[in-house]
Amino acid sequence: MSSIFQITQGTSPVILAFPHTGTDVPPPIWDRLNDNGKLLADTDWHIHHLYDSLLPNVTTVRATFHRYVIDANRDPAGVSLYPGQNTTGLIPETDFDGISIWKAGQEPTEADIAERLSAFHAPYHAALLAEIERVKAIHGVAVLYDCHSIRGNIPYLFEGRLPDFNIGTDMGRTCDAAIEAATVEIAASANGYTSILNGRFKGGWTTRQYGKPENGIHAIQMELAQGSHLATEAPPFAYDEEKAGRLRVHLKAILERIEQIAFQLKQKKGE
């Protein structure tokens, strides 16, 4: 099996995390998926390419395993991110449409969860935490920007059409107010796009786990509607260079502004 994560180390105070762009599924797990599961439809398609080279010297941490192996953005204790709402678990039993992804009798067991927590989830987060601590050691602050995408229309998960930019800060708990405000301002001013703060997606486990502004670690999640950068929100989920090019302008502006704020926070800590 190839490495379960990929890291690019940079010197910026900003870290980009990609927990859901991986498509690697070990053969023994692949053989247990049904035909629907083998579509890997719930991948955050091409998001690591969308953000590529937008911010010089940024650190990136990317999981290469698929979320059907185990979801790197779920609480390892299995606690729901959104109690009372439809969602998928630590090892999903269904896709985002509520349709089974496993062959009958091949569904994940408690033993599978324990094994995959140890083999995939824990090492990814150990690597991510190590980069957060490394960056914080350089600057005194670190900003984790968790990169996601999802189909814009999924009745099983939410009503209506999802906005293009879905910003999550767990109701302002996971980052400095200036980071939240700047991200909201740039997204809201992006012509031709829609946006929302702490709507259906308020930040996943990664954002909530690491975002501790009082300790100099800030976290924010960006969930993008896939229609903003894919040709269609259906197989083969092809990357649309023209759409992506337009979107990248605004994502670059967001990341640059977040980095500026991080340097300002660093300066304040040094005063």
**Structural domains in the chain plus CATH codes:** 5-269 (3.40.630.40)
Residues 15-68 have pLDDT tens digits of: 999 999 999 999 999 999 999 999 999 999 999 999 999 999 999 999 999 999
Give the residue-averaged pLDDT of 200-211.
96
Give dist(CA 63, CA 31) in Å, integer. Answer: 21
Check residue 24 and report its DSSP letter. Answer: B
Tracing tokens 């990341």 back to the chain, one arrives at: 255
Closest among 243, 245, 170, 250 to 210, alpha carbons compared? 170
Closest among 196, 203, 187 to 254, alpha carbons compared? 187
Residues 217-254 have pLDDT tens digits of: 999 999 999 999 999 999 999 999 999 999 999 999 99
List the beta bridge partners of residue 100: 94
Q: Which residues contact 269 (CB under 8 A, 6 or more apart)?
A: 140, 141, 216
- The pLDDT score that the predictor gives to residue 88 is 83
Helix 177-188 × helix 241-270 angle, to 10°: 150
Pick the range with the lowest mean pLDDT from 76-85, 95-104, 115-124, 131-140. 76-85
List the beta bridge partners of residue 142: 217
Report whether pLDDT(70) > 80.
Answer: yes
- The answer to whether the beta carbons of residues 143 and 15 sit under 8 Å apart is yes
Give dist(CA 218, CA 143) in Å, integer. Answer: 5
Give the residue-averaged pLDDT of 145-167.
96
Asked whether the CA dihedral 124, 127, 133, 139 is positive or negative, the reply is negative
Give the residue-averaged pLDDT of 185-212.
97
**Mean per-residue pLDDT of the chain:** 95
- The pLDDT score that the predictor gives to residue 2 is 53
Report whether pLDDT(1) > 80.
Answer: no
Total-model pTM: 0.95
